[in-house]
Amino acid sequence: MTDSTVVYALAGIWIAMLGLRSLLVNRDHFKRIVAANLLGSGVFLTLVALAGRGEGAADPIPHGMILTGIVVAVSGTGLFLALLGRLRELESSEEEET
């Protein structure tokens, strides 16, 4: 191991695996979205650590991809949370009526 960036890449893989496992195992939707965020962050960490390995400048192409990825992840999270919140709102209003 020539440089220390490899620990980030390995940590990223395992963070992604933790998130994936939690995504599969849990049934609560909110916990799943948190796990999905962790999965995404882990993958991003690994990719960027791979881009920044070795001496010299970092590879900017993965950086651009991950920048895009972060924004798309936020969009997905936002839409999902709006859906979930509206669903709970409807459920609780149904409970009040019955």
Partner 1 sequence: MTPELLIDLILSISLLLLAMVTLRQRTPGDAVIQLMIFGLLLALSWLRVQAPDLSLTEAAIGPGVTGALLLASLRRIGFHRPFPPPASLPFRAAASLGCGIVGVVLSWILLQSWDRPQGLTELAYQHLPESGSKNPITAVILNYRGYDTLLEIGVLLVAALSVYTLAAPVRGKAVKPPGAIFRLYLRMMTPLFLLVVPYMVWIGGYAPGGAFQAGALLSGLGVLTLLGPRPWPIQLRRKLLRASLALGFILFLVVAVWTWRYGDFLTYPPAEASKWILVIESSCALSIGICLTVMFAGCAGWLSEEREGFR
Closest CA to 32 of 18, 16, 19, 45: 19
- Asked if 98 touches partner 1 (CB under 8 A), the answer is no
Q: Which is nearer to partner 1, 53 or 98 (CB)?
A: 53
Q: Which is nearer to partner 1, 72 or 95 (CB)?
A: 72
Name the CA radius of gyration of the chain, rounded: 18
Q: Which is nearer to partner 1, 29 or 98 (CB)?
A: 29
For partner 1, the binding residues in 14-53 under the rule CB under 8 A are 14-22, 24-28, 30-31, 33-35, 37-38, 41-42, 44-46, 48-53
**Contact mark string toward partner 1, 59..78, x via CB under 8 A:** xxx-xxxxxx-xxxxxxxxx
28 class by beta-carbon count within 10 Å (0-12 exposed, 13-18 middle, 19+ buried): exposed
DSSP state of 86: H
SS3 1: coil
